[in-house]
């Protein structure tokens, strides 16, 4: 299998990124990260469960909705969200 890019290039120089927990609030990690990444001209997609816009950008509910597959994801959400157990189905 031939790789399109060197193995770590997507990590160190991603073409597109997704920020889970992106927000307009500069006091929160998701707000700072999203704002800084957009400054450098990358395709940055915000994902948030309850917002419709972040810094004028459409917010997606999941990575499945994105127009492209991102090279890198930033998780800027509360640890309780990441550690939450899925609800048991009966």
User: Is 64 part of any domain?
Assistant: yes
| pLDDT greater than 90 at residue 8 | no
Mean pLDDT on 12-20? 91
> How many structural domains compose the chain?
1
User: Is 85 part of any domain?
Assistant: no
Average pLDDT, the chain: 85
**3-state SS string for the chain:** CCCCCCCCHHHHCCCEEEEECCCCCCCCHHHHHHHHHHHCCCEEEEECCCCCEECCEECECCHHHCCCCCCEEEECCCHHHHHCCCCCCC
- CATH number for 65: 3.40.50.720
Q: Domain of residue 22: give its range.
A: 13-78
User: Is 24 part of any domain?
Assistant: yes
User: Is 73 part of any domain?
Assistant: yes
| pLDDT greater than 60 at residue 1 | no
User: Is 21 part of any domain?
Assistant: yes
39-61, pLDDT tens digit by residue?
A: 886 799 999 989 999 988 999 99
């Amino acid at each position: 299998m031939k790789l399109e890019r060197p193995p770590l290039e997507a990590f160190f120089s991603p073409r597109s990124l997704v920020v889970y927990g992106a927000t307009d609030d500069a006091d929160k990690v998701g707000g700072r990260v999203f704002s800084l990444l957009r400054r450098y001209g990358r395709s940055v997609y915000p994902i948030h469960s309850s917002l419709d816009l972040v810094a004028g950008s459409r917010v997606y509910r999941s990575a499945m909705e994105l127009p492209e597959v991102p090279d890198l994801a930033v998780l800027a959400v509360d640890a309780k969200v990441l550690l939450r157990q899925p609800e048991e189905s009966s």
